Structure 1
């Protein structure tokens, strides 16, 4: 039976308590208050860079994140000490949020430009281009509408509806796009483990096969990058936050390794 170290134990308790509060205080939208919203949203608050990493979207979400924390976290805490491990956890978690915000800010800005351009020239071709360019925000039904619009290019109804669809895409992004979960910090822990103990064998849960830590990090990093660049409308995972946790973990460890006295 593994032994929980002090910081890992406290982080586990905090995550569980917050998860319970998300359900008991659902009437006041507690989850919305502590999730990380995109910067352009009226719901965004700076403190969310800290609070989002203690909230979760469901039992499976918190279960897998906490498994990663309790299996790998104690080893790193014993290796670094409690203070340094806590700093690492918080910085990678906040860093994941920062990268997520940066990517979403760029995406939102590009979307806003395209919305403005379409409103000026609402044609079937431009609508199809808009939908293809921002396909991650649409369900399949929008393509049926685009097909009907192409058959009725001068119909005021389709022109008006197409404008409404385009505008609502931007508004829905502002009001409905948020991130929550400890995944960024957990991916940071995985990166640290892969760098410090690269040849250690880890046992995957699904499928239950052993794999060296360094290969697991490479696989997960590749998946996060690919999935982030090719995200579709049914994928609600913040892949760039996962990647952000790994990037900040890599940077921190390389900085600490320059001063061996501080690192150990």
Structure 2
């Protein structure tokens, strides 16, 4: 099977349905967030209080001072209401597949959770330094939005000039503009004390900062990563065009298949430079034959 036979090289209109484009980890993140929200609501109706939130929401006192470190993870799967859950699920749905295809499934999950941890730490930092209003060390932080802001920054890093049309206001912006504008709004809401959710906005900024750091230094997730910020290297001189023998073409197709399988399992960032060059050459040759 050659590069043009792969599902993601075909016209996306042929796909079976809208939700067929959801990647594996994104699907499970959506299921977990929705399932935990429903379970917490059922328990609340039975016991009269939100039991899961009482043990899983992050607070400075319990998460840091008392040592309940699991709260750095569990708070990311709890939500304050249906609208909170809905907005975060939409964020995971739209930005998650980009990041999962980029990192690979396992490292994408690590990326998402670490951005959430970054959000909690930044929330704690701004609280103890007096940037956030009040000094309540028991103020809870819940929601997946810190991880989602990390995804937003990640997509803006890999595709800064991609154009997207907003629903409100109905304008077209680049991903770089969307990310900078969104983060600017969060910062303004903290500094101007508007909206009443300064703690949540601090979590958003912390998640975005963690996302940028992980994109800038991908080896922090345990591999060499893609050198997104590496200076451009001089392209090698083009070689004379020689018609390869059919046997060599078959070998090339096999190599391309192995590379595409590697992307599917571990993400584009796992490829070596030689593999990326081979994939680019195969794609160019395929297009020139059309």
TM, length-normalised to structure 2 = 0.63
**How many equivalent residue pairs?**
203
Tell me how far apart the structure 2 counterparts of residues 21 and 44 of structure 1 sit (CA, whole Å). Answer: 26
SS in 1 for 2:93: helix
Show the counterpart of 2:98. 75
Shift of 1:200: 1.1
CA contact (8 A) 1:40 1:105 kept: no
The answer to whether the 8 A contact 2:92-2:148 is kept is: yes
CA contact (8 A) 1:38 1:44 kept: no
Alignment of 1:213 with 2:175, yes or no, is yes
Identify the residue that residue 255 of structure 1 maps to in structure 2. Answer: 217
1:100 is aligned to: 123
Give 2:29's match in structure 1, choosing from 8, 11, 14: 11
Asked if 2 retains the 8 angstrom alpha-carbon contact of 1:37 and 1:178, the reply is yes
- Any idea what SS the aligned residue of 2:164 has? strand
The 1:25/1:216 distance shift into structure 2, 3 A limit, reads same
Displacement over 4 Å in runs of 4+: 40-44
Match of 1:117? none
Distance 2:149 2:172 in 1: 18
How far apart are residue 38 of structure 1 and its match?
2.1
Equivalent in the alignment of 2:205: 243
Q: Secondary structure of the residue that 1:72 maps to in structure 2?
A: helix
The 3 A distance-change label for structure 1 pair 20 and 189 is: same
Distance 1:21 1:253 in 2: 34
Q: Deviations over 1:206-249 (max 9, x none)?
A: 23432210000110111111212222584465111100011011
| Distance across 1 between alignment mates of 2:208 and 2:225 | 21
Question: Relative contact order: is structure 1 or structure 2 higher (C-alpha 8 Å, sep ≥ 6)?
Answer: 1
Alignment counterpart, residue 29 of structure 1, candidates 31, 37, 50: 50
Q: CA RMSD in A?
A: 2.6
Structure 2: gaps of 5 or more residues: 1-17, 228-267, 271-290
Distance 1:218 1:233 in 2: 19
How high is the TM-score relative to the length of structure 1? 0.69
Q: Tell me the distance in 1 between the aligned counterparts of 2:194 and 2:107.
A: 38
Q: Distance in 2 between matches of 1:19 and 1:205?
A: 27
> More helix by proportion, 1 or 2?
1
